Each structure stands twice: as structure tokens, then as C-alpha cells.
Chains A and B, each alone.
Chain A
Amino acid sequence: MARATETRSDLPSRARQQRLDRAFNPRTVAVVGDKRAIGYLWLRSMSTFQGKVYSVQIDPDEIPGIEALGVPNYPSLLDIPDEVDYVVCAVPRQVSPRILADCIEKGVAAVTLFTSGFAETEREDGIRLQEQIGEMARSASGGGLLLIGPNCMGIYNRRLGLRNSWEQPAGDAGNVGFISQSGTHCINFSLVGDRQGIRCSKAVSFGNAVVLDAADYLEYMADDAETEVIGLYLEGVKDARRFFSVLRQATRRKPVVVWKGGVTEAGARAIYSHTAALATAPAVWDAAMRQAGAMQTESLDETIDAVKALVYCTPGTGYRMGLVAMTGGQSVVITDAFEREGLEAPLLTAASYEKLSGFFNIIGGSYRNPLDAGGTIGWGFLPQNLQKLLDVLDEDENVDAIAIEVSAGFLARRMRENPGILDALLDTLSAHRERSQKPFIAITHPGHLEDVTAMVRSRLLERNIPPFASFEAGAKALRRAIDHWRFREGLD
């Protein structure tokens, strides 16, 4: 099975990290082998880059198209009249050793090999070629060349506009780092995440990991001042013990969310032909993640949700919820959803019930916890009552965190009568969030009004209130975040 080639750069960790820093924050980038057939993917992605971009292409049919994009083209990396920090190489696989040799001679910090057709083909020639490029990179003079990939999309630095897809946002960078064995998941995290209020600081897709593996990038992101939360998509790690110890260190400094692909038997087969990584026994993997203090997720959505809770919530370490829904039916299922994740809905204190009895409308409602509060708060439009209710939960010592349903259906109906009412609701929720020391999340079901939901979601995010698409999603995300905050506090 061990057809993936030997891993790890031989560089000492410090030097490797300094070089990675240069690659993640380049001043000059060169793209080798971009072409019309892939829509000039790379040069178009680099159009937002704040530094200098060069192209290397020798095909006379491709050069005019490249120059039309306004990018200076050279026949070789060595001809570029500038120091080059980072290279993206998109040449056919048999040419890749030659480009690697040029990268080494040019003294670049790192090269991303977009090219595929290596060990993941499970064929002798691909495996041998992967061994060859790995050996070249490792044994390069000056401590080796950092090789990212092959079979990957490389580095995304949002602040610098260094992208690996032309749809990705540039500028207005955030604080979330993402490390992905898959290019698709890396790009989707940056795109879908952006719509969900998660802005990347940096991201990297690293494919077959022939020289640099997940642990190297994780070490870098754990140290990176621009990154406060880290997400990973992994298919396998080559030096599991090193990854485990790097992860154990990283989680003591920043929350780390790990999404592992290929956990089923058939999924593990798919992994091998994707990135040639070896599968791990799920029970051992789960144990290692829990032990290292990482949060585990099972999909892109779960990963984004967990990161969202970590980015937007005030940290808290208790599992007892104050749950607010708009109708009786929703009160029941919001409670089930949170209880299933081990987030209880306890009875409130006598003092709270005393206060609630003063204004709570029990006709068609109830307030034991969950609070069936639609009538009392006018389905979001009696802000004074909403504020009183949130104050009660905030002051209640039996409540550690609060979740509220923000119903797009009720909102859409009421906004027809009074369009300004959404602002009053948001002001109330936002004021609560500012005052309260307890984690606070909103649930906005997409339901049948997806456009209203999308609007409400982005308006909530503007006020730093994290919205989730279902009670289940909100409960799972909050549970993971609380587990992390407990871990950081040294609680079991």
C-alpha cells in the first residue's frame, strides 16, 4: 500500500517556517504554463495580486493570449529580471522536473505543482515521477525547495489578492486559515465561507503532500499572527505522530477544526486515487483528534458552521441552553436538536419565572425553557419584550448560552406592513450580544423564502450574530465551540 513517496522537507522547522512565510506573503509570483484551455485560470486568479506577476510560457500559440492579459511573459523562470518568491507550475507532468530545476536555480521560496498525474494515478510511471520531484526538491542546495503538491491549488492570501480561483474575494481579509488536501474544498471554503461571514486570512490546498504535509502548514498557521481560527480538510497524514504533536500544540493556541474525508471504506478507496493518502482506522483517528483538542466535522457546511460559532460567539464553557423559538412546534424541536448534542434546556431560576410572568403572553406560548415566545415578542416586533426576555436569560444562573429562532417566514409577513421593523429587531439582538457574556446564536431556517433568509442572514452577520440554517446545525456548531472553550480552560 505504501506507494506514496517519502514525505517531509529535510529543512529544520524554523527555516522551513520562514520560507513558508515568504511563500504565503510573496512580493513576486510567476505562473509557469498557464494556457487558454484552462481559461488562463492562474493569471486571471492573480489579477488581484498586490505584487508583481510574471508568466513563463514557450508555446507561441499561448503567448499572445497571456500578453493580452497584461502579464509580461518570459521563456524561462531564469529570464525573469526579478527575484521570484512563489511559483505556480501548470505544465504537463513530464516537464515538471525541468521547471523544478529552474525554481531551485532561481532560488524561489516555494512552488505549487498544479500538475497532476503522480502517485494518485496508482501507476508506476506516476509514482516514480512523484519520487523524482520529491527527491529533487528535498536535496536542492540551500536546504531544499518547498514543494506544495503536486496535484493541488496552492496558496490563497486574501489580503494580498493572491488567489487560486478568480471568484475568490480579494482584500478585506479575515482571521480564518484553511488547510486542505483538496483544491475544491479549499476554494469552496473561501467562497461559501465568505457568504457565511467567514473571511480567510490564508488558505492552502496541498494535494499529494510529497514534501510539505499538513503538519507543516498547521505549524505555520498556528504561528501566523493573521490567523486566529484554523480549519483543515484532510484525507490522510503521512507522519501521523508528528501531525498529532503539532496539532496538540496548535490547539493550545488557536481553535482547530478538522474535517476528515474518506472515513468509510469506499471513501478510503476514493482517497487513494485522489491524493494517494493512506486511510486511518476511524476509532483511532477520532481518539487522536479528541486527545489533541481538535473539533471534528463531517462536511463543508459543518466546518463552516463550527468556525462561524468560534469566530462570532463570546466564549463560554457551560452546556446549559436558554432556547427561544417562535411557535410551539419549533420550541419542541429546537429542544430536541440541542439535547441531542448534549446541550440541555434546564429549568430557569424562580427569579426568572417571576420576572417572565410579568410580561410573558402564555396564551399560545410558554416559558419554562424552551421559551415559546412568538406571541410575547410579536414574532420579533415587540423589541421591548424581546429585550426583557433576553435579559432574563442573560441574568439566569442556570443558563450558559442562548439560541434564538429568527423566523424568515414571520419576518417576511411583518415586513410587508412595516419594512423598518427588521432594524428594530437587529438592534435589540445586537444590543443583547454586546451586553451579554454568554454565547449567543440565531437560527434562520431557509424554508420556502430563501431570498429573505439570505438577506436576514447577512444582516445578522453585519451585527456579529452568527446565523445557522437549522436547529441541528446551530446545536452541533455551538457544541463543538463550547468543547473547544472548555478544552482551553482545562475542563474535561
Chain B
Amino acid sequence: MSIVDVIDRAKSEGRAVLTEIESKQILEEAGIPTASARLARTADEAVEAAAEFGYPVVLKIVSPDVTHKSDVGGVKLGLDSAEAVAAAFQEITKAVKRQQPDARIEGVAVQKMVRPGIEVIVGMSKDPQFGPVLMFGLGGVLVEVLKDVAFRIVPLEPRDVRQMIREIKGFPVLEGFRGQEPADLEALEKLLLKVSAFVEAHPEIEELDLNPVFAYKDGALAVDARIVVG
């Protein structure tokens, strides 16, 4: 399905929030590197998808009503066998039903367990005056406390993304702090430019959250994604 189709379907179902799978699907189509996920409605489908991706995998609940998946027991990491995947499927659906009985459950997203990187966040929200504004920051709890983020008005130019990445106080972390591997800044810059072009081309997108994005020494990958349409 194309970007427009995905958005139209959500709208026709009266949903403003796209599921993780839908969000990732359209991000991929926009050329934004994303840890792809596939919907499994049954434990068998989950095992099948896991075999295709290769182990280990991650399972996450897919529900338009669940915002914080891990808070309701909706996430299982590092599953390395068919048995583990099948069991995790049951555990997740059961846990969510128990914690949030009204939640509509579409199934479970199966995703390859990606290698860890430096966590960053990329977001877009609409300012009442300036319109779409892109946000960049380091991921994790500290960032929420310190509000160490940089903003730019869409559309961004290459200079804007170079500056916004370097503007955050935590930038040294991306440069390879204390022997850590430095992040591939060019890949982050490209990702931000693509997100800018993507939201500019689709004004119906009201909000976008890529949280986290893993920054590697060679590349960057959106690991979780959430898109709200208007």
C-alpha cells in the first residue's frame, strides 16, 4: 500500500494514530531507514515471520489503543527460537487483555532484534504559527528531564540539519564519548532531511515520532515509529 493508501485507510476507520506497522511501512516507502516489522495475527504467523527475519526477534503489541506498549506488558525482546516466539505471542496478548481489557488488539508486530546503537529521537509537531517543526535530541530519560533538543522549521536545508545535530549539549556523545564508537553523522543528517521532505510532502501528517532512532558508526535506523494524521 502506498503512503496515501495507508493514511486514507486509517482515516476511513476513524483513526488518527497509525499503528507502528503502518507508520514503518510509509516511512520505508519514503526512504527513511526503518527496522521493518510485520503484523502477525496468530502465534503461527509470528513464528513464520520470525523465521523470515532470522533470530533473534522482538514482538510488540499492535493496538490503536495502546500508546505505551511496554507499560502494559506488550513488548518482548531477544526471542531466539520458534518456541520462544510462540510463547511470547500468547503472553503479550494475554497481558494486554488483562491490563487494558478495552484495547482492540490487531495482533503482534514481529521485528528483527536490531543491534544497539546510540539512542536519538527525531520528531515533528505543528507549531500554531510556524507550521511543521522538526525536533532532534538524544534519546533516553535524561533528555526528557534536560530538554536537550534542537528545533528547525520545515523545510530543512543541509546546513540546518548539520547545525541542529551539533546544537544539542549532548553532541559529544555522538562524537564518540569515552571510547564509544562515533555515530555516523552523515546518516543522521540524511535521515533528518528525508523526514523533512516526507512531512513537507504530506501536510496531513500532524505528528511524527521516531523514538528511538539508533545511531550507528555506519548508518542510522528508526527502531520505533508513531505517526498521527489529521
Interface residues of A (CB under 8 A from B): 237, 240-241, 244, 278, 280-281, 283-284, 286-288, 290-291, 490, 492
Contact = CB atoms under 8 A, between A and B. Distances in A.
Nearest to B159: A492
B113 interface: no
Contacts of A283: 151
Interface residues of B, number: 16
B151 A241 contact: no
Given A244-B153, A283-B151, A291 B129 contact: no
Interface string B162-177: 1110100000000000
Contact of B152 (A237, A241, A291): A291
Contacts of A286: 151
5 contacts: A281-B127, A284-B127, A287-B151, A287-B153, A492-B166
Contacts of B164: 287
Given A244-B153, A283-B151, A288 B162 contact: no
4 A-B pairs with least C-beta separation = A240-B129, A287-B151, A240-B130, A288-B153
Interface string B143-166: 000000011110010011011101
Task: Count chain A CB atoms within 10 A of each CB in B130, B152, B156, B164 and give the residue with the most.
Answer: B130
Contacts of A290: 163
B159 A287 contact: no
Nearest to A290: B163
A280 B129 contact: yes
B133 interface: yes
A281 B130 CA distance: 10
B84 to A, nearest CB: 44
B131 interface: yes
B130 A241 contact: yes
Task: Count chain B CB atoms within 10 A of each CB in A284, A288, A490 and give the residue with the most.
Answer: A284
B129 A287 contact: no
B36 to A, nearest CB: 32
Interface string B125-140: 0010111010000000
Given A241-B131, A244-B130, A280-B129, A287 B162 contact: no
Contacts of B150: 287
A287 B152 contact: yes
Contacts of A240: 127, 129-131
B147 to A, nearest CB: 8
A418 B32 CA distance: 73
Contacts of B133: 284, 287
A241 B164 CA distance: 19
Nearest to B163: A492
Given A287-B164, A291-B153, 17 more contacts: A237-B129, A240-B131, A241-B129, A241-B130, A241-B131, A280-B127, A280-B130, A284-B151, A284-B153, A287-B133, A287-B152, A287-B153, A288-B153, A290-B163, A291-B152, A291-B163, A492-B162
Nearest to A285: B130
Nearest to A288: B153
Contacts of B151: 283-284, 286-287
Contacts of B159: 490, 492
Contacts of A287: 133, 150-153, 164
Interface string B98-138: 00000000000000000000000000000101110100000
